[in-house]
Amino acid sequence: MSGFVALIGRDLRLAWRSGSDALTLVLFFVMVGVIVPFAVGPDPVLLKTLAPGIVWIAAFLAMLLGLDRLFRDDFDDGTLMAMQHAEAPLALLIAAKVIAHWLLSALPLLIASPVLAMLLAMDVSTFLRTVLSLLLGTPALTALGTIGGAVTVSLRRGGLIAPVLILPLAVPVLIFGVSAIAPAMSVNSATTALLLLGALSLFLLVLAPFAAALALTVSED
């Protein structure tokens, strides 16, 4: 268990010391939100309807972009192999990496979401529900990303193929995430969507470490 906490700390320290990956991700997230008004026109009513979808797509793309660094560095310098022969089970170590990755790639987006809310003319209650839905939904995206990253880690061209694999599987996350904030929804169905989103996140968080551990083990020998 100490290894579990130590690994989270290590990943966070590495990210902190090696520079501004998280900032770049946030910048990308905000930029996607910024270019949409240019593409569809700056009509506030239209933007207000589109806002939940735009925020989710921006978060989705930003998380896909950060997916490659989840295992890549550890694979290149051999840390991953050391983890496979560690005393702690590989699935547990991967669970630690999932948590660290969520803190590094999803939490910054949550913190930056007020900027997008302002640009896209969201009102306060919609914004709060957006933050809540991102909070509940991003763990599912991180979990799916972990599977994608583990499956493609031994490929040099893995950076492109992992998003292609993950995208169709992430459709439910998008559907429930947007249903939870779409303005047309009644409070009741929005709550249902939020609950389903949370259930999906929990399910995928349990599944992902084992699936990723299996993928890493079989790709080694």
Partner 1 sequence: MSVETAPPSTGNWFSRLAHPGQFMVWSGKFVWPLAILTTIVFGFGLWFSLFASPEDYQMGDTVRIMYVHVPNAWLSQAVYGLMAVSALGTLVWRHPMADVSMKAAAPLGAVFTALALYTGSLWGRPTWGTFWEWDGRMTSTLVMLLIYLGIIALWRAFDDQLRAARIVAVFTLVGAINVPIVKFSVDWWGGLHQPSSVLRSGGVSIAPAMLTALLTMVVAFTLLFITLQLVRMRSEVRNRRIAGLKARAARSVR
For partner 1, which is the closer residue by CB, 33 or 145?
A: 145
215 is an interface residue for partner 1 by CB under 8 A: yes
Query: How far apart are alpha carbons 215 and 19 in whole angstroms?
Result: 29
- In the set 29, 200, 201, 205, which binds partner 1 (CB under 8 A)? 200
DSSP for 114-129, please give it: HHHHHHTT--HHHHHH
Q: Are 123 and 47 in contact (CB under 8 A)?
A: no
Give CA separation, 166 vs 38, 141, 150, 160, 194, in Å. 28, 9, 12, 11, 21
219 is an interface residue for partner 1 by CB under 8 A: yes
Query: How far apart are alpha carbons 75 and 152 in whole angstroms?
Result: 11
157 is an interface residue for partner 1 by CB under 8 A: yes
Rg of the chain over all Cα atoms, to the nearest angstrom: 18
Residue range at the interface with partner 1 (CB under 8 A); choices 7-15, 28-36, 55-63, 210-218: 210-218
Q: Count other C-beta atoms under 10 Å from residue 157's C-beta.
A: 8
49 is an interface residue for partner 1 by CB under 8 A: no
CB of 153 to partner 1, least distance (A): 9
Interface of this chain with partner 1, residues 74 to 133, rule: CB under 8 A? none
Q: Are 88 and 2 in contact (CB under 8 A)?
A: no
155 is an interface residue for partner 1 by CB under 8 A: yes
Return the H-helix or E-strand segment holding 50: helix 44-65
Counting residues that bind partner 1 (by CB under 8 A) gives: 27
175 is an interface residue for partner 1 by CB under 8 A: yes
For partner 1, which is the closer residue by CB, 65 or 107?
A: 65
Q: Please give the residue ranges that form the binding site for partner 1 (CB under 8 A).
A: 147, 151-152, 154-155, 157-158, 161, 164-165, 167-169, 171-172, 175-176, 179, 189, 196, 200, 207, 211, 214-215, 218-219
